[in-house]
Amino acid sequence: MTNKKPLIGLTTSHDIRTDETIQTPYCPRAVLAAGGIPVILPLEASEDDLRQLVSVLDGFLFTGGPDVHPFLFGEETRDGCGSVSVKRDRMELALLKLAMEQRKPVMGICRGIQLINIGLGGSIYQDIPSQVERVLPIAHQQPFPHRVPSHTVKIAEGSLLADVISGRFLGEENCGAAAIRVNSTHHQAVRDVAPRLTACAVAPDGIIEGVTMKDYPYLIGVQWHPEYLWEEDPAAMNLFKALVKASAETF
Ligand SMILES: [Mn+2]
């Protein structure tokens, strides 16, 4: 068993104009580099099929993408909300529920942290600039390429996220975790944190950028995009390595 690599299921993007599913290479490459095998999941699958897939796979990565439909967290669609994929929302919420029923490791990136929060009963800001008054309005849609960090994030000391970012979770502490530099390409963000989640990372304007879940084997959501940073940033690589490690432990 020891030389088998964990299988990490990845959600795909959905182009609602053409109905095509799209997978950019960044998350698969990061999972491969971290020692896992990325498995791209189908957008359209029955709940039974998803359940079977979940039982075979070892961990799950909810990737970035467009907005989540406001009805899913009990709101009307406000000015500032972007486009949505009803199919993708439905598939990912079903997948999250099934993955958590089977206690599989879960990671969410950008849309992924929001989807997880909504799936567990929390809410999000539909549009940060029009909904949040901020003394220091951070550019969460950064004006330069994704590979360049744009704002800092404070990580709660003693949290699972701090353990992962620092490398302690991997037994190879290789960077500081109190504050890290991240990229930012989102206009939505976690608002009310779901009851079972804990906010453990925050941007300088107060926007929540990370969540974890106590009483669960492994769950981390981050608002930034480590898949564009890992080649140069050990904090970003540690996130992928930790997901793979946690997934290996559930074999
Ligand atoms: Mn941000």
Question: Is the distance from CB of 153 to CB of 210 less than 8 angstroms?
Answer: yes
Task: Identify the residue whose tokens are 């941007």.
Answer: 203
DSSP string, 61-101: EE---SBPPGGGGT-PPPTT---B-HHHHHHHHHHHHHHHH
pTM: 0.97
Residue 162, amino acid: A
Instruction: For each of the domains in the chain, give its residue range(s) and CATH number, in order of start.
Output: 7-248 (3.40.50.880)
Q: What are residue 106's DSSP bridge partners?
A: 60, 219
**Considering only 2-6, 103-107, 206-210, which range has the smallest mean pLDDT?**
2-6
Pairing of strands 189-190, 20-22: unpaired
What is the Cα–Cα distance from 166 to 170, expressed in whole angstroms? 9
The pLDDT, as a whole number, for residue 2 is 58
Q: Which residue has the higher pLDDT, 225 or 178?
A: 225
What is the arithmetic mean of pLDDT over 108-116? 98
Q: Which two tokens stand for residue 249?
A: 């432990």
- For residue 242, how far is its CA from the centre of ligand 1 (angstroms)? 22
What is the Cα–Cα distance from 187 to 13, expressed in whole angstroms? 17
26 three-state secondary structure: helix
Question: Is the distance from CB of 241 to CB of 35 less than 8 angstroms?
Answer: yes
What mean pLDDT value characterizes the chain? Answer: 96
- For residue 189, how far is its CA from the centre of ligand 1 (angstroms)? 8
Share of the chain above pLDDT 70, in %: 98
The pLDDT, as a whole number, for residue 177 is 84
Nearest to 175 by CA among 221, 217, 229, 243: 229
What is the arithmetic mean of pLDDT over 97-119? 98
- For residue 206, how far is its CA from the centre of ligand 1 (angstroms)? 10
- For residue 240, how far is its CA from the centre of ligand 1 (angstroms)? 19
Nearest to 216 by CA among 122, 114, 120: 120
What one-character DSSP code corresponds to residue 194? P
Residue 1 has pLDDT above 90, yes or no: no
